[in-house]
């Protein structure tokens, strides 16, 4: 009994000195529920309250930073493991990758608009590069058959030279290839993320006289659906 009273006195004294519950529990070996019942009515001076509040804030920041570092390390490990899965991509694999890309993001021929050529639109530089590699290597399209169009919000007019240079660097085509710029007139919502210095609009890749290739891609997609997408 005496020992327990001494522990209670020690806990109360530590609290009045500005120690947090966690710090007290490190020094007084009791259950947290017991500590809470001992301290719930202990009055604290304002400067002590401020000290405890600041300690809690710093502890929360340390915990947040520790979780962030753990997440970064885990993400890096997963990324490295995943990267090792990709190597020696064959021509056939690249061919299939391009079909899937166009199926997802490419323009398809419509009955009311026959003869549509290749049009592929995206803002992801990696996706644009892969599609161009597919056109050049797999479809044997000549560079002079490829046309680029930039679609960008009109409030970015002053950044056009920078945007053109960005897409030239991304695609390894000359800057003069990006002289077709079209402005979107819809109002930019204030919570949009794709604005400012890191906003380069959307790039459309078109191929001259490519309606036959567009139809061939449609045939490839149809065959994939017929062979692999049947309901079991």
39-98 pLDDT tens trace: 877 777 678 878 888 888 888 889 899 999 999 999 999 999 999 999 889 999 999 999
Mean pLDDT of the chain: 88
- How does residue 199 score in pLDDT terms, banded at 50, 70 and 90? very high
Q: Are 120 and 105 in contact (CB under 8 A)?
A: yes
Per-residue pLDDT of 138-178, as tens digits, reads 999 999 999 999 999 999 989 999 999 999 999 999 999 99
Query: In the predicted model, is pLDDT for residue 3 greater than 80?
Result: no
Element (H, E) at 160: helix 160-171
Per-residue confidence (pLDDT) for residue 92, from 0 to 100: 96
Query: In the predicted model, is pLDDT for residue 227 greater than 90?
Result: no
- Are both 74 and 113 inside the same structural domain? no
Query: In the predicted model, is pLDDT for residue 187 greater than 70?
Result: no
- Are both 112 and 162 inside the same structural domain? yes
Question: Which CATH number covers residue 66?
Answer: 1.10.10
Q: Going by DSSP bridges, is the β-strand pair 119-122/146-153 parallel, antiparallel, or unpaired?
A: unpaired
Q: In the block, which residue shows the tokens 């058959």?
A: 145
Note whether residue 86 is domain-resident: no
- How does residue 194 score in pLDDT terms, banded at 50, 70 and 90? low
> What is the domain count for the chain?
2
- Are both 63 and 174 inside the same structural domain? no
Q: In the block, which residue shows the tokens 């077709």?
A: 180
Query: In the predicted model, is pLDDT for residue 222 greater than 90?
Result: yes
- Domain that residue 177 falls in: 91-228
This prediction's pTM: 0.71
- Are both 203 and 124 inside the same structural domain? yes
- Are both 96 and 16 inside the same structural domain? no
What is the SS3 assignment for 184? Answer: strand
Residue 149: phi and psi, rounded to 5, are -130, 135
Q: Could you tell me where the DSSP H helices lie in the chain?
A: 2-16, 21-27, 32-39, 46-83, 91-105, 125-133, 160-171, 211-228
Query: What residues are paired with 203 via a beta bridge?
Result: 122, 150
- Are both 75 and 101 inside the same structural domain? no
């Amino acid at each position: 009994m005496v020992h327990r009273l001494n522990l209670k006195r020690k806990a109360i004294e530590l609290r009045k000195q500005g120690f947090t519950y966690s710090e007290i529990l490190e020094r007084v070996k009791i259950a947290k529920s017991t500590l809470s019942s001992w301290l719930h009515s202990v009055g604290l001076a304002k400067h002590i309250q401020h000290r405890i509040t600041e300690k809690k804030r710093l502890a929360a920041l340390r915990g947040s930073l520790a979780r962030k570092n753990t997440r970064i390390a885990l993400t890096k490990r997963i990324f490295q493991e995943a990267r090792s899965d990709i190597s020696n991509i064959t021509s056939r694999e690249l061919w299939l990758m391009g079909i899937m890309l166009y199926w997802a993001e490419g323009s398809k021929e419509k009955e009311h608009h026959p003869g549509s050529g290749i049009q592929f639109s995206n803002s992801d530089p990696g996706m644009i590069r892969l599609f161009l590699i597919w056109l050049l290597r797999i479809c044997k399209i000549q560079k002079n058959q490829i046309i680029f169009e930039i679609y960008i919000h009109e409030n970015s007019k002053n950044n056009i030279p920078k945007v053109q240079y960005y897409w030239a660097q991304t695609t390894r085509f000359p800057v003069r290839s990006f002289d077709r710029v079209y402005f979107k007139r819809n109002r930019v919502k204030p919570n949009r993320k794709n604005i400012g210095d890191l906003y380069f609009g959307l790039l459309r890749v078109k191929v001259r006289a490519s309606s036959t290739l567009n139809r061939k891609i449609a045939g490839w997609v149809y065959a994939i659906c017929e062979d692999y997408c049947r309901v079991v």
